[in-house]
Structure 1
Amino acid sequence: MSDDLKKGLEGVLVAESELSFIDGDEGRLVYRGYDIEDLARDASYEEVLYLLWHGRLPNRDELDEFSESMATAREIDDGVMATVRELAAADEEPMAALRTVVSQLSAYDDDAAADPTDEAANLRKGRRITAKIPTILAAFVRVRNGDEPVAPREDLDHATNFLYMLNGEVPDDVLAETFDMALVLHADHGLNASTFTSMVISSTLADLHSAIPGGIGALSGSLHGGANQDVMEALLELDDSGKDPVEWVEDRLDAGERVPGFGHRVYNVKDPRAKILSEKSEALGEAAGTPQWHDYSVAIEEYLTEEKGLAPNVDFYSASTYYQMGIPIDIYTPIFVMSRVGGWVAHVLEQYEDNRLIRPRARYVGPMDEEFVPVDER
């Protein structure tokens, strides 16, 4: 057994997966053999869920049946809604609220007592969890704002239904398609921190209702999913400052602060998802007459890439995209959960297929041979 220390497990292979492939040097992302550019352009989020969970793209009948099963699972029980209301009244952080409520879903799931490795039960549980997260999040936001929750509609797709529940009106096609694309782009991304957390939990033979809240907890940090909120807050700071974007970046760096949304543990070039969302952000800005958010982003990207060799990740352009869709800043990371839960479920299913308890070691660097002294003599 090697004693080489790999902080953060960087570069360490711990599993084999058929789910997603990342080429950090080429800036390529693949889900089960399909390039992300193709999926983002042509596939719906429901199709991507089917691909991740079942290993292939569905035909029309399979997609219709799967989409219907998702739509009919969107409602949440009264007890769950009561918790949503309580947490909203307590002004809980959205990610913390989502983590708590998703954990509660097990109390109302008919498959909660199933064997954790029962694949059919896990697919049903995964479908229900994924379908209910948008309902939970939209209800939380509305109650927090003093509005009544909007019941989900079964005739709308996953992305459109969330925006409908959030705002109380069906979005136009451009907004719905953009949001669906964002969900596709965020659905899976190898063994990132939240996915690995879910895998570690499931490797103990804990169930899906334990693994998914663990993933939410890991995603909440600013070094992972929380970066998208940080990006938009930074852009708003830039806008308020009245400074040129390059001047603002230089001042920030001189003060020892980082610019969020840049750098990635895997990519050495621009994140392919950032390329796609950059185009969407620009189009939304032009349509809304607010091109400054995309303009700021491009100016910052060009400076940091040319002067510092840093490339933007997906968070950098998802921030301005969501902002121009009218989505509250503090639910950007919960929206990440809405998408990435599909990948978490897929990786948990894969973990159960060939399970081995994930149990790394740490190198001990503490004292040795200490003499114990009774408490009254210390």
Structure 2
Amino acid sequence: MSTTKGLEGVVATTSGVSSIIDGVLTYHGYGIDDLADYASFEEVVYLLWNHKLPNKEELSTFNKQLASAAKVPDEVLDQMKMYPIDKVHPMAALRTAVSALALYDEDADEQDETANYQKALKLQAQLPTIVTSFSRIRQGKDPIAPKEDLSFAANFLYMLNGEIPDEVSEKAINKALVLHADHELNASTFTARVCVATLSDMYSGVTAAIGALKGPLHGGANERVMAMLSEIGQVEKAESYIKDALERKVKIMGFGHRVYKDGDPRAKHLREMSRQLTNITGETKWYDMSVKIDEIVTNEKGLLPNVDFYSASVYHSLGIEHDLFTPLFAVSRVSGWIAHILEQFENNRLIRPRAEYTGPDHQNWVPMEKR
């Protein structure tokens, strides 16, 4: 029996949701560059779930469906107020709250197409409400209900700080959401598919995926990037900090990607957003520092930045708390998780790989008195 550590290069399933071929990322065949430049996040969600871009009427209907599903049950918000606010990470809060949503959905365990689509709408619409509500609750503020006339991206920022965002900020969040929506069979998506392949429910699949995304080797990387930038503090200190870290063989978060050998195609979009936003805020040091680190790591190690690296300074420039970076990732990626969950349900087979045994063998039972 041959094994591959981390299942690297192993093809585990077929999928029509997204592809990474020769370093090019597509959603249902549409290139990520075109989607990032021209599409609204709502269009991308519709594409992922329905396998086609919506026309004007379809998009209008879909936007209304999302808006009407965005309210989180009061019971879940009340539970969030009981969390140990000063200790819990927002990803743990999100994981717990999403699991709790199932308790207040009478169709949580229904598996027909209509019920699953309604659950998909609720999960997509309610994750940003949960994330922003938790942020406000821990500040001693009341959650803000979403506005039905705002875009998905604008609503996130509005629910977070109570102000309707400017066009640049809305565009930046929209682009980040589009870039993070799906990424083939990444760790959290694989987790979601393994979970629902048992015919567990969609809430369980998304909760499991959030648990996988929480790790610093997956969604948690962008938060670690910002922690590093904050620790460095000044552009002049970047070179000595990074070279010392490389000498000590410390992993520099936000670099390298298992499936991209010539660079993550999403990174350039976030790099440009970082440049624009840091210029607007007057804190260009975050962009300049990132570029300096990029140059050093690329030259010294041959590693290129991935989607997490420049997203850190983008989110920081938008005033988003650093430990909300990964929950924002989840707000986007739930669209892809759901697309894969729906696809798994359509042609399901229990996912049950084998493991090569490496433990001791031929052991004889030893009675208790002789051990």
Shorter chain as normaliser: what TM range? over 0.9
The residue aligned with 2:366 is 373
Report matched runs for 1:86-235 at 5 Å.
Answer: 86-87=82-83, 89=85, 91-115=87-111, 118-235=112-229
CA distances 1:199-252 after superposition (whole Å, capped 9, x unpaired): 000111111011000000000000000000000010111116x74322221011
2:48, 2:336 within 8 Å by CA — same for their partners in 1? yes
The answer to whether residue 54 in structure 2 is matched with residue 58 in structure 1 is yes
The answer to whether residue 249 in structure 2 is matched with residue 279 in structure 1 is no
Q: Which amino acid aligns with 1:47?
A: E
The residue aligned with 2:6 is 8
Q: Which amino acid aligns with 2:360?
A: P
Q: Which amino acid aligns with 2:355?
A: A
Cα offset for 1:88? 5.4
**Could you tell me how far apart the structure 2 residues matched to 1:278 and 1:88 are?**
36
2:109, 2:201 within 8 Å by CA — same for their partners in 1? no
Provide the secondary structure at the position in 1 that maps to 2:26: strand
Cα RMSD for the two superposed structures? 1.2
1:111, 1:121 within 8 Å by CA — same for their partners in 2? yes
TM-score by length of 1: 0.96
The residue aligned with 1:363 is 356
Cα offset for 1:255? 2.5
Over the matched positions of the two proteins, sequence identity in percent amounts to: 51
Cα offset for 1:106? 1.0
Given candidates 17, 36, 39, the residue that maps to 2:35 is: 39
Count of aligned pairs between the two proteins:
371
**Could you tell me how far apart the structure 2 residues matched to 1:349 and 1:202 are?**
9
**Could you tell me how far apart the structure 1 residues matched to 2:366 and 2:87 are?**
48
Structure 1 unaligned blocks of 5 or more: none
2:189, 2:340 within 8 Å by CA — same for their partners in 1? yes
**Could you tell me how far apart the structure 1 residues matched to 2:166 and 2:271 are?**
20
1:71, 1:157 within 8 Å by CA — same for their partners in 2? no
TM-score by length of 2: 0.97
The answer to whether residue 257 in structure 2 is matched with residue 264 in structure 1 is yes
**Could you tell me how far apart the structure 1 residues matched to 2:202 and 2:301 are?**
42
The residue aligned with 2:77 is 81
Provide the secondary structure at the position in 2 that maps to 1:338: helix
1:175, 1:325 within 8 Å by CA — same for their partners in 2? yes
**Could you tell me how far apart the structure 2 residues matched to 1:244 and 1:136 are?**
38
**Could you tell me how far apart the structure 2 residues matched to 1:153 and 1:107 are?**
25
**Could you tell me how far apart the structure 1 residues matched to 2:85 and 2:256 are?**
37
1:91, 1:144 within 8 Å by CA — same for their partners in 2? no
CA distances 1:12-69 after superposition (whole Å, capped 9, x unpaired): 111111111113xx53211111111111111111100000000000000000000010
